[in-house]
Structure 1
Amino acid sequence: MTTAAPAPAPVAGAGAAPTASAAVLTRTLAGLKLALLRNGLKQSSGRKAVWITSIVLTALFAALQLLGLIALRGNDHAATFTVLLAVLWAFGWAVMPLFFPAGDETMDPSRLVMLPLRPAPLMVALLTAALIGIGPGFTVVLFVGSAIATAHGAAAVAVAVLAVPLALLICVALSRAVTTANVRLLTSRRGRDLALLSGIVIAVGAQFVNLGLNRLSKAGGLEALQPVADVVRWIPPGSALDAVRAASEGQYGLAAAELALSAAVLAALMTWWQQGLTKIMTAPDASTIGAAAPERKRGGRAGRDGAAADHRPAGLAGLLPDTRTGAVMLRSLRYAWRDPKTKASWVSGLAAGALVPFVNAVQGSGSVWLALFAATMLGLQMYNQFGQDGPAFWMVLQTLGTAREAYAELRARTLALALIALPYITLIVTTTAWLLGKWQQWAEVMGVSLALLGGLFATGALTSVLAPYSIPQDSGFKNVAPGQASIAWLGMLGSVVGAALCAPLLGLVIALHVTDTHDLLWTVLPLGAAYGLLVTWAGLRVAAPKALARLPEILTAVTKA
């Protein structure tokens, strides 16, 4: 008597493998999310303290928001605020994962590609996991408060019971769909760039939010937003919350239409998300395909055949001099464009230098002298020049054999900064003077800005030589290697000296104002430019021989990370 041979085991991912049911998969991923949170708290007491503190602060802030929304109850324009709040909050749900891709390990579906999972059960499980955390809890509080602010009557309460979870699901589904569609980007170098630039986006957004709140705090602020709300109320999840307002006013047909629109958008988001999941789970990763471009192959053959080639860079970079100065300038500019940490430093300096004078000018409480903040932020980019090179500084070290070469190196780095700083400072000072209508102060502010920039360049070169430190490239937002924080702070003290170096120009401005000789204030501009050049030249001359004598110490300091 023969027995049947056992059936071969199904191959994972080939369509014959048994797939987990939605209930089992949901319990697994929800448990995984809780385990990740729990295990993260066990790593250190410091992390546990930060986690508990964040929960407490978030709960307090959520309570204040809830009380504020409840206080809007009965206001004629309460629905205007709640609708705009819902749409802005959904935008935050869509954008923030792009800047914090590592904040939730369950947001990367590419980690599950080797498992025999179908998109539909996986969507349910990932959606459930996304509802666990501080963010969803805070969102629920906001939407519940918005519903309380606009719900009047039993019908409105019934609509709110549907609108609040519907709005929450739209936010979560939108976040997951956007993250899935950009998962390849978030795991690349550009994704790391986005993560590093997140703080800048938050800072810029906070300034606009602050400006908007100041406008809303004035009389008639909410009424001025009514035309915008009339359009935004048809954008989910704003439409879901506006359905509560419509039900309170007896517009039951409108409430039903807005709920139906929100449900349709949620279904569309789920469909988009499912398509993204299917592509991630089935498509090959392009990063594993190592085919070289035909153009590169032809270029390589041409080089091997000895064909003449022009090695000068194309575009604007080709305008730089074909000397050591041009090469160093090009290298510095490429660091600013390609290196994530250097790029984050540059963008933060450019953004902060513009926000401070512009926001104050728009609010009507600014001064043209606030444009000095732009010169300060750009001048600070000169500090820790060799730390930006990191371990690659050893190649620079090999080219520095004399004080003259060290001076040329520092001068070229300064010129690369000035290539961006000078037009930027001119733009900020000019725009601030235009916004405030104080053109008579343009020349004096511009002259002092150039003197301040020169002082910061000079002290930046010196501190780069005397107090260099390493910048970690793989440690998130940390810009100083462990054990070198005191060196970084010591170096930044040089900025105080750099600011003090422009005291002669400030003294001249004060003297001209006190003696009522305003017709001579224009002289501050050429004097400031000449003084800035002189101070920069003196700082580089002093720093060059010190750099040559301290090359081993600088290399050791910048390679500690």
Structure 2
Amino acid sequence: MTHANGASGTGTTAGAGAVAGPVAGPGGAGAGRGAAARPPGASAGTLTSVFVRLKLSLLRNGLRQSSGRTAVFVVSIVLTLLFAAGQLLGLVLLRGHAQAATLAVLLTGVTALGWAVMPLFFPSGDETLDPSRLVMLPLRPGPLVWALLVASLVGTGPLFTLCLAVGAGISVAHGAFAVAVAVVAVPLVLLVCLALARAVAAANIRLLTSRKGRDLALLSGLVVAIGIQVVNFGAQRLGQAGGLARLEPAADLVRWVPPASAVGAVDAASRGAYGTAVAQLLLSVAALAGLLYWWQRSLTKLMTAPDGSTVAAAGPDADRKRPGAGGGWTGLLPEGRTGAVVERALRYAWRDPKAKSGWVTALALGLIVPVFNAAQGTGSVYWACFAAGLLGTLMYNQFGQDTSAFWIVAMTVSSKRDAYLELRARALALLLVTLPYATLVVVVTVAVLGDWAALPEGLGVSYGLLGAMLGVGAWASAYFPYSIPQDSAYKNAAPGQGGLAWASMMGGMLLATALCVPVALAAWWVRTGSASPWLLLPLGAVWGALLVWGGLHLAAGRTHRRLPEILAAVSKA
């Protein structure tokens, strides 16, 4: 949330030296003990100055890496400032409105929640969030906490939060006592948000720097997508009768949750409830003290306790804990190439960060979008096909997911039959999850709509679309393979292959849509009342199966003939 936007290795090394200099001094260990004997205030002040300069150096060195990074940073600052200014102006204009306090309290609570979760999904956005980099330096946790807290004020995130807090304070402050409370509440809101983000990051730094932490960061796009759907749903609800008054029960609860309780204290002081105002303000002060204590305890543990994350893996029972080759669910798979490829594909989906991100995003959005539309009364059973379409995109660029390791697969493909079995097994691995999940989404959507008569219609169209996506995806994997960078969470194609990736995905989706025209015409025919809806279910399933079979056979021939070219295309990252 502090938005340091990364840093180069030079910036990190220079920053560490800058910290070590004033604290340890030129005299080495003896000077370090002398620094520890200084008054806490002087030590904390010196360390704070060093960390502020370190934060600025990290920011500056990060921007020097490329002009693109600089442009993105400048654009993000401009957009943040515009949004923050608009939000500040909007809150000021709400001054005197009946629901001004409701909106101010809830916005503060949502902002604090964002500060709490963003370090978990964007741990690499600020190198100073990782205190393990400072373990070897002679630093005490107390002064280190204050230095990092002050350094956290540098960034667009704190500026946005400050604008929000100022606007919230102005919108609810009426009277001299309320203004005095607001003067204390505004910086208190900012400090609680910063301390919350830092405490959460320090307590989970072992996770965030591990493979599971990188997997968590890759799911940030899912969080944003779900958040957009929730905001859209909430905005539509607020547009109905009642408006902001619908939020009053939630605001009554949130106004006692720090740091929103500080804004609630300003509102209480404006209404003359001085005892409530003092209690809510003290609640935020206590929360700040508790967060600083938790943060300091986490730093102490981090700097003194060994990393035991690999102890269990290296123990004498490690071999027995590893999943067996033939036990569990793998024993249900068929023998030969088909079973091996299905197991490999499912393990990739679970272990590979990029594959896992795609799976989770498709599964979550495939359910959220149709269900949310159905709950709002604006959806139909055809929205359930959104899940089949999203899950079908996982079949695209199958060989690119293997990257340079595709040479192992290429060594086992000596005929068109081998290529067909390879692609068929990959499609089967997807169908094991996508087919029941697409069925579930249709059933849930129909249940929310209360239109059970549309169930066979929705299933038929969904099965037809899923089959078209899988068949075209196999064809696109053979004709438009491209490499997927593994060292970047946000790049899905190697440099120079963006157009290829675009052609593969967009062209494939348009082709799949065109191939579903017979199913769409059959659905229209059923809608006119000329046939039973139950005829559409087998028709969609059979048509989808035929499209998968045809796509696999077309892709198999191309794959067998172009193995060297495919390997070169997927090995560029």
State the TM-score, normalizing by the size of structure 1. 0.93
The alignment's C-alpha RMSD in Å is 2.1
Please state how far the C-alpha of 1:25 moved relative to its aligned partner.
Answer: 0.8
**Counterpart-to-counterpart distance in 1, 2:368 and 2:554:** 34
Distance 1:28 1:551, change over 3 A: same
Please state how far the C-alpha of 1:299 moved relative to its aligned partner.
Answer: 9.2
For residues 361-400 of structure 1, what are the structure 2 equivalents within 5 Å?
361-400=374-413
| 1:490 counterpart residue number | 503
Count of paired positions: 542
Deviations along 1:212-251, one digit per CA (max 9) or x if unpaired, are 1222233323222222222222110111110001110111
| 1:345 counterpart residue number | 358
Which of 149, 157, 161 aligns to 1:127? It is 149
Residues 1:499 and 2:516 are matched in the alignment: no
1:12–1:116 Cα contact (<8 Å) kept? no
Residues 1:27 and 2:49 are matched in the alignment: yes
Which of 266, 281, 291 aligns to 1:259? It is 281
For residues 103-502 of structure 1, what are the structure 2 equivalents within 5 Å?
103-286=125-308, 292-296=314-318, 311-314=325-328, 316-492=329-505, 493-502=507-516
| 2:546 counterpart residue number | 534
Letter aligned with residue 35 of structure 2 = P
Distance 1:229 1:50, change over 3 A: same
Please state how far the C-alpha of 1:362 moved relative to its aligned partner.
Answer: 1.8
| 2:8 counterpart residue number | none
| 2:18 counterpart residue number | none
Distance 1:313 1:555, change over 3 A: farther
SS of structure 2 residue aligned to 1:21: helix
For residues 70-81 of structure 1, what are the structure 2 equivalents within 5 Å?
70-81=92-103
1:86–1:237 Cα contact (<8 Å) kept? yes
SS of structure 2 residue aligned to 1:79: helix
1:130–1:172 Cα contact (<8 Å) kept? yes
2:362–2:391 Cα contact (<8 Å) kept? yes
Of stretches 396-405 and 268-277 in structure 1, the one that deviates more from structure 2 is 396-405
SS of structure 2 residue aligned to 1:102: helix
Of stretches 89-98 and 320-329 in structure 1, the one that deviates more from structure 2 is 320-329
| 1:524 counterpart residue number | 536
1:26–1:128 Cα contact (<8 Å) kept? yes
Residues 1:64 and 2:86 are matched in the alignment: yes
1:18–1:116 Cα contact (<8 Å) kept? no
**Counterpart-to-counterpart distance in 1, 2:510 and 2:319:** 53
Please state how far the C-alpha of 1:52 moved relative to its aligned partner.
Answer: 1.9
SS of structure 2 residue aligned to 1:294: coil
Q: Note the residue ranges of structure 2 that are not aligned, 5 or more in a row.
A: 1-25, 37-41
1:469–1:481 Cα contact (<8 Å) kept? yes
**Counterpart-to-counterpart distance in 1, 2:274 and 2:390:** 55
Deviations along 1:430-456, one digit per CA (max 9) or x if unpaired, are 111121222222212211111111111
Residues 1:512 and 2:526 are matched in the alignment: yes
Please state how far the C-alpha of 1:286 moved relative to its aligned partner.
Answer: 2.9
Please state how far the C-alpha of 1:156 moved relative to its aligned partner.
Answer: 0.4
Q: Note the residue ranges of structure 1 that are not aligned, 5 or more in a row.
A: 1-7, 301-308
**Counterpart-to-counterpart distance in 1, 2:229 and 2:380:** 17
Of stretches 391-400 and 235-244 in structure 1, the one that deviates more from structure 2 is 391-400
Deviations along 1:37-76, one digit per CA (max 9) or x if unpaired, are 2233333333222222211111111121112212322122
Distance 1:298 1:41, change over 3 A: closer
Percent identical residues: 58
| 1:39 counterpart residue number | 61
SS of structure 1 residue aligned to 2:488: coil
For residues 45-56 of structure 1, what are the structure 2 equivalents within 5 Å?
45-56=67-78
**Counterpart-to-counterpart distance in 2, 1:75 and 1:50:** 37
Deviations along 1:159-210, one digit per CA (max 9) or x if unpaired, are 0000111111111001000000011111111111111110111110121122
1:10–1:17 Cα contact (<8 Å) kept? no
SS of structure 1 residue aligned to 2:560: helix
**Counterpart-to-counterpart distance in 1, 2:54 and 2:245:** 47
Distance 1:507 1:486, change over 3 A: same
State the TM-score, normalizing by the size of structure 2. 0.91
Letter aligned with residue 522 of structure 2 = L
| 1:554 counterpart residue number | 566
SS of structure 2 residue aligned to 1:36: helix
SS of structure 2 residue aligned to 1:468: coil
Deviations along 1:65-97, one digit per CA (max 9) or x if unpaired, are 112212322122222222222121111101001
SS of structure 1 residue aligned to 2:124: coil
Distance 1:65 1:325, change over 3 A: same
Please state how far the C-alpha of 1:512 moved relative to its aligned partner.
Answer: 3.4
| 1:305 counterpart residue number | none
Please state how far the C-alpha of 1:297 moved relative to its aligned partner.
Answer: 5.9
Residues 1:18 and 2:35 are matched in the alignment: yes
Distance 1:12 1:178, change over 3 A: farther
**Counterpart-to-counterpart distance in 1, 2:264 and 2:122:** 30
SS of structure 1 residue aligned to 2:317: helix
| 1:303 counterpart residue number | none
